[in-house]
Amino acid sequence: MSRGFDTERWTGLDGLVLVAAAAGVFTREPSLLLAAGLGVVVLAYVRVASIPEVSLRVERDLSDATPDPDDEVEVTLRVTNEGPRTLFDLRVVDGVPPALGVADGPARLGTALRPGATATATYTVTAVRGEHAWGETVVVVRDPSGAVESRETVDAETTLRCEPELAATADLPLRGLTSKYAGRVETDVPGSGLEFASIREYRHGDPIRRIDWNRRARTGELATVEFREERAAAVVLVVDTRAEAHVAPDGGAETAVERSVDAASVAFSALLDGGDSVGVAAFGPDECWLAPSSGVDHRTRARRLFATHPAFAPTPPDGAFFPSVALRRLRRRLASDAQVVFCSPLVDDYAVSVARRLEAYGHAVTVVSPDPTTTATVGARLARIERDLRLRELRRSGVRVVDWGDEPLGVALARAEAGWSR
Amino acid sequence: MALSAAGFAVLALGFTTSTAAVGGLAATVALAAGLVRGSRRIVDAAGGLFFLSLLFAGASGAGTEALLLAAVGSILAWDLADNARSVGDHLGRETDTLRLELVHAAATLVVLAVGAAVVYGADRAAAGGQPITAVVLLLVGVVALVAVVGR
C-alpha cells in the first residue's frame, strides 16, 4: 500500500463543513447540521483513501513491425492488472516515438481494472523512414475518491523499423569528372565508346575495327574513328543534416532533411545501376560515412544506412556541431576524382560555402536542393528570395543546381538538365 | 465528460424545493462553463456557489430531506465535474473514458448515499425535543470529528 501524492482535490472541505455546522448552530436549523454531518462522512472517505501496490504488465503489438514508408501501422496496447487489488482509476499514456504521428485513435487509455483483467487501446501510426523505439508508458493511478494519485512508468520494448526500398525513379546526370574504370558517363576523352568524337590519322596499333574504310576507299589514306570514351564516376552523396536543414513549409510537411535523404537514396540507386561507385556521407553533428563502392552488399548497406542511421533521423540532432572540422574531415575522405552530390535546402549561407569549397577543391559538385520555403508571410517570401539568390550565386560559380519544389524529383531533374551545358 | 449532466439533474431536483434554486442554477451554469473550458478554477468556483446556495437554503428553513438531497447532488456534481476535468487533462478529450468515470461516479454515489442515510437515521433517532444542549453537543462532536479526520 502506498499513499502516493495528494491531489489536493478535497482541500478546503473541512473548512466548509465547519462553516456549515456553525451556521446551523446560529440559525438553529438542524438541516444544516445534518449537511455538515454528510460532509464529515465525505472527509472520512477521503481520509481512508489509499492506492494499492500497482503491478501492471504492458504489451504492445504492431500489425507490421517492418512497414513501408507512409503505411498505416495498427498498434494495440494491452494493459493487464497483475496486482491483487482492483485499480479503480487507471490512466495510461503510451510513449509513442516522437517521429511517428498518431493518425487515428488516441494512444491513451482510461479505465478501471479488476485483478487479472486486461484493457486494450488501439491506435494507428503512419510509418516514416527510420528505426523508432517506443518510450516508457506513463501510468497514473488514483484511488476512487481521487484524493491520492501515484504516477509510474512501465517499459515495454517495441521497435518499428521502416526501410524504404532503394528505387531508381529518376536518373541523376553526372558531371565530367570520372575514375579510370569503364562506365556510363561520357567524357571528352577520345577512345572507344558509342558517340562519335573525331577522326584522326591512323597510328600503328589502332584496332582494325575502328579504321574508317569508306575514307580508305575514297582517298587511299588510313584514318581512325574515335568515340567519346565512357567511364564510371566515383560519387559521394553528401546530405546536409545540420539542425539548420531541419525545416519544413509547415508543421505537417516533410522536412528538407527527409526530402534530401529521399533524393540521395534515389540518386544512390540510379548511379549504382549505372555502374558508378557511390558513397554516402552526412554533413551534420552525427557522423556518417560510407566509402564509394558498388555491388549488392553495398546497396544493402546503404539501404540500412539511409533507413536507420541516427544522422538521417527525422528529428533534429541536439549535439554540438563544428562545421569547419566536419568539412575538413569530409575533404580528407573524398578521393581526388570523386564527384559530390550535395543534398541541402540551402537555407543558410554556410551550405553555399560548403558547395563552393568542395567545387574549388576539384570535386565536381551537383547540388540537389529541396525547396522548403513558402509564400505565406512576408518573412517567408524574404526567405524564399534569399534562397533564390543563393542558388544563383552557386550557378554563377559553376556548380550545377537542381531546385526541387513540390514536383517529383524526376521532373525537377529534367527541367534542371535542360538548362545545363555539357 | 457529459456524465456530470446527470449530477446537474439530481441537483436541480434537490433545489426546486428550496428558495436557493437560483443559486443552484447559477452554479450549474458555472460548472458547465468550467467543463467546457477545462478550468479547475471555474469548477471550484461553481462548488463554492453550490455551498453558498446550500447555506442559504438551510438558513431560510428548507426541509431536512430536501437539504440532504441537495447536498448529495451538489457534492456529486462537483466531484464528477472535477474528475472529468482531470481525466481530460491527463488523457485528452477524444479518449473513451466512460468506464473510468462511471466507476468513479458509482463510488462517490455509494459513499454519499450511505453517509446521508446514516446522518438521516441519526436525526430520526434523536427526533423529539431539541434542547440547546443537544445542539451544542452535536457541534462539539462535529468539530472533534473534523479535527480527527482533517489532515
A22–B151 CB contact, under 8 Å: no
Evaluate whether residue A12 is within a structural domain. Answer: yes
The alpha carbon torsion through A178, A179, A181, A186 (nearest 10 deg) reads 10
Evaluate whether residue A178 is within a structural domain. Answer: no
How much is the pLDDT for A86?
A: 85
Residue in A with minimal Cα distance to B81: A9
- Domain total for chain A? 4
Whether the per-residue pLDDT at B129 is higher than 70: the answer is no
Among A120, A146, A162, the domain boundary falls at: A162
Whether the per-residue pLDDT at B108 is higher than 70: the answer is yes
Both A203 and A281 in one domain: the answer is no
Both A360 and A224 in one domain: the answer is no
Both A214 and A294 in one domain: the answer is no
CATH at A343: 3.40.50
Determine how many CB atoms are found less than 10 A away from the CB of residue A203.
Answer: 8
Evaluate whether residue A372 is within a structural domain. Answer: yes
Of A258, A302, A254, the C-alpha closest to A281 is: A302
Both A223 and A238 in one domain: the answer is no
- pLDDT, average across residues B7-33: 64
Both A37 and A93 in one domain: the answer is no
Domain that holds residue A30: 5-48
CATH at A125: 2.60.40.10
* Phi-psi region at A191: left, alpha or beta (left = phi > 0; alpha = psi -120 to 50): left
Both A240 and A203 in one domain: the answer is no
Among A215, A230, A245, the domain boundary falls at: A230
Collect all residues of chain A within an 8 Å Cβ-Cβ radius of residue B75: 38, 42
Both A138 and A43 in one domain: the answer is no
- pLDDT > 70: what percent of chain B? 71
Instruction: Give the ipTM of the model, two decimals please.
Output: 0.81
Both A153 and A190 in one domain: the answer is no
Higher-confidence residue of A133 and B15: namely A133
Mutate to test the interface with B, among A16, A19, A25, A34 (most CBs of B within 10 A): A34
Among A128, A162, A196, the domain boundary falls at: A162
Both A98 and A13 in one domain: the answer is no
How much is the pLDDT for A297?
A: 92
Evaluate whether residue A171 is within a structural domain. Answer: no
CA A37 to chain centre: 62
- d(Cα B96, Cα A153) in Å, to the nearest integer? 21
Whether the per-residue pLDDT at B147 is higher than 50: the answer is yes
Both A244 and A373 in one domain: the answer is yes
- d(Cα B123, Cα B117) in Å, to the nearest integer? 10
Both A262 and A397 in one domain: the answer is yes
Whether the per-residue pLDDT at B6 is higher than 50: the answer is no
pLDDT tens figures, B36-68 = 777 888 888 888 888 888 888 777 776 777 778
How much is the pLDDT for B131?
A: 57
Name the residue among A14, A41, A89 with its Cβ closest to that of B104. A89
Q: B121: distance to nearest CA of chain A, Å?
A: 10
Higher-confidence residue of B18 and A379: namely A379
How much is the pLDDT for A367?
A: 92
Yes or no: say if A178 and A270 are a contact pair by the CB < 8 Å rule.
no
Whether the per-residue pLDDT at B16 is higher than 80: the answer is no
B135–A112 CB contact, under 8 Å: no
Evaluate whether residue A177 is within a structural domain. Answer: no
Residues of chain A with pLDDT under 70: 1-3, 168, 177-184, 186, 421-422
Evaluate whether residue A150 is within a structural domain. Answer: yes
How much is the pLDDT for B2?
A: 42
Yes or no: say if B23 and B52 are a contact pair by the CB < 8 Å rule.
yes
- d(Cα A367, Cα A369) in Å, to the nearest integer? 6
Both A71 and A142 in one domain: the answer is yes
pLDDT tens figures, A175-224 = 776 666 666 676 777 777 777 878 888 888 888 888 888 888 999 888 88
Evaluate whether residue A309 is within a structural domain. Answer: yes
Name the residue among A28, A31, A40 with its Cβ closest to that of B62. A31
How much is the pLDDT for B5?
A: 47
Q: A253: distance to nearest CA of chain B, Å?
A: 24
Evaluate whether residue A281 is within a structural domain. Answer: yes
Residue in B with minimal Cα distance to A36: B142
